[in-house]
Amino acid sequence: MNSEYRALQAKVDAFADATAARRAADLQCRAGCASCCHVWLTVSPVEAQAVRGALAALAAEERSAISARGRRELEREARHEGEPRCAMLDDDGRCAVYAQRPLVCRTQGHALRYPAGFVPASAVRARTANEAGEITCCPLNYTNEPPAPPDVLDAERVDQLLAIVNHRFATAEHIPPEARTAISELAREADMLGCPESRG
């Protein structure tokens, strides 16, 4: 996995871990809660590489189940059928690639600051001083007490850093940096990723 991306993951995880420890009573995020996973996502090349690596390391039976879910979700997405659901979710609502889940998944639920007007008005939970930004978080979290400044992640900055890391990675790999791959497509490929030939 790309070292710069691994370092960015570690920074985001450090924020999430510290916030979870500090505000445990205010966060409902836990294993099996998949409220924010009912979506069809696409990821950048550097994140796709990390997800593929996680999938390749899984047992054949698990990869087969993920591949079937990927095919199903790709078909549903193409038809705009029903509620979206991430193909990486197993029947218990757990993520098959949790350790290598994309950054957007790592930050979901937490209090995130974006520039004013970036997120839908219905998702805004608070505004920073002088309209410097708006804060959004999972409606299940911070229901008793709003997030304090240390609890808020600058999501715009994380996105900027990811864009830089991805651009460097994609350029080195001769991939268009703006390319996007559906999580459902990565799931569909899971069977092939387990083949020795595909790991070379």
pLDDT band per the 50, 70, 90 thresholds, residue 95: very high
At 36 the pLDDT is 85
Q: Take residue 171 and report the two structure tokens written for it.
A: 């350029």
Query: Rounded distance, CA 66 to CA 39, Å?
Result: 16
200 pLDDT higher than 50: no
Query: Rounded distance, CA 95 to CA 32, Å?
Result: 9
The angle formed by the CA atoms of residues 47, 151 and 113, to the nearest 5 degrees, is 60
Q: What is the span of the domain harbouring residue 76?
A: 3-199
Q: Which residues pair with 122 in a beta bridge?
A: none
Query: Rounded distance, CA 79 to CA 162, Å?
Result: 31
Mean pLDDT of the chain: 89
Return the amino acid letter for 128.
T
Number of domains in the chain: 1
Q: Take residue 82 and report the two structure tokens written for it.
A: 């029903």
Q: Take residue 189 and report the two structure tokens written for it.
A: 């490929």
pLDDT band per the 50, 70, 90 thresholds, residue 188: very high
At 123 the pLDDT is 66
Q: Take residue 190 and report the two structure tokens written for it.
A: 């899971």
More confidently predicted of 130 and 113: 113
